Amino acid sequence: MPSATTADGIRIEYETMGDPGDPCLLLVMGLGGQLIAWDTELCERFADRGFFVIRYDNRDVGLSMDFEGSPAPDLAALLGGDGSSAPYLLADMADDAVGLLDSLRIAAAHVVGVSMGGMIVQQLVIDHPERVLSLCSIMSTTGDPSVGQPSDEALTVLLEPPPPDRAGYLDHEVAVWRVISSPGYPFDEQRIRDRGGASYDRRFLPAGVGRQLAAIIASPDRTERLGRVKVPTLVIHGDGDVLVNQSGGRATTAAIPGAQLLIMPGMGHDLLPVVWDTIVDAVVKNTAH
C-alpha cells in the first residue's frame, strides 16, 4: 500500500481504486477510523460510477504518521475551553488531505467525510476552496457546541479507553457499536468483530484517537466560515444517531448556502451495506451539480 509525504513532512498512507483519469473522490474517515473503515465494496461502487477513489489513514491512526512524542492532551482543560494541549487541529488534518492531493498531482477533488472526517472536509473547503469540486458531510457537525452533541451513553462509551489485548479490544468495539450503530437495522456483531480485528491487527494506537479527539474539541466553530462555501454540498445524517445528534447535520445544512440535506431513517453513526445504494446515488448526484 503506498504512502505519501506532504510538504509539512506528514506521512500519509493511502489506497486508490478506479481509473486515475476519472474525477477524484477523496474519502475522509472519522475519529480513530482507519482507511479500511471505508468498506472496499462501497469504494468499488463509487469507482464503478466513474470516480478515481482515494481512501487514506488520517494522521495518528493506522499506518500514517503518529504523534507519539507529543504530550498527552489535557481533556479537562480542553472541555473547559483551553485548547493549548491539543498537538494539532482539524485545520492541520485538512492540510494533510491537500498534501496528499499534491503528492498525487490532483488539482481538485470531490470530497466525502464521515463524522470527524466531515469536520475535516468542511475545514478543507474553508481553507482550500480551490481544491474542492463538491462536498459531502456525513453524520457530522459544524463545531457549534449547541448542536450535534452525543447522548450521555454515547459520550460514556466514546471516552472509555479500550483494553490493550485483542480479545478485550474486540469486546470493547462490540459494546461501543451496540450504543451508536443504526437502531433501525439488525446489529451485526460479527461484522463489528471482523472490522475491529482487521483494525487491531493493522495497528492499535489508542493514544492517537485521544489526540484526534483533542483536535476536534480545540478547533473553532466553523459555522460563519461555512457561509462562504460555494461548491455543491450534500449533508447526510441518520435520524437515529446518538453520537452526533442530527441537529449537527441540520446546522451544517443551514450554514452552507444551497446545501441539500438527506435524513436517513433508522441510520445511526455507521454506514451499513443496506444504505450504500442510497448514499452512493446521492453523492453522485451532488457531484454532477
CA distance 208 to 267: 27
Q: What does the pLDDT read at residue 217?
A: 97
For residue 8, the one-letter residue type is: D
| pLDDT, tens digit (0-9, with 9 covering 90-100), for 260-283 | 999 999 999 999 999 999 999 999
CB-side exposure of 140: number of CA atoms within 13 Å? 32
Q: What percent of the chain has pLDDT over 70?
A: 100
Alpha-helical (H) ranges within 74-231 are 75-79, 90-103, 116-127, 152-159, 166-180, 189-202, 206-218, 223-226
- Contact present, 139 and 244 (Cβ < 8 Å): yes
CA distance 62 to 148: 26
Backbone angles phi, psi at 260, to 5 degrees: -105, 140
The answer on pLDDT for 95 being more than 80 is: yes
Instruction: Determine how many CB atoms are found less than 10 A away from the CB of residue 35.
Output: 24
Q: What percent of the chain has pLDDT over 90?
A: 98
- Contact present, 34 and 203 (Cβ < 8 Å): yes
Domains recognised in the chain with CATH numbers: 3-150+206-288 (3.40.50.1820)
| pLDDT, tens digit (0-9, with 9 covering 90-100), for 76-90 | 999 899 999 999 999
Q: What does the pLDDT read at residue 247?
A: 98
- Contact present, 54 and 62 (Cβ < 8 Å): no
pLDDT band (50, 70, 90) for residue 1: confident
Q: What does the pLDDT read at residue 66?
A: 98
| pLDDT, tens digit (0-9, with 9 covering 90-100), for 166-184 | 999 999 999 999 999 999 9
What is the average pLDDT across 239-248?
A: 98
Average pLDDT of the chain? 97
- Contact present, 252 and 140 (Cβ < 8 Å): yes
Cell 449537527: give the residue.
248
First to last CA, the chain: 33
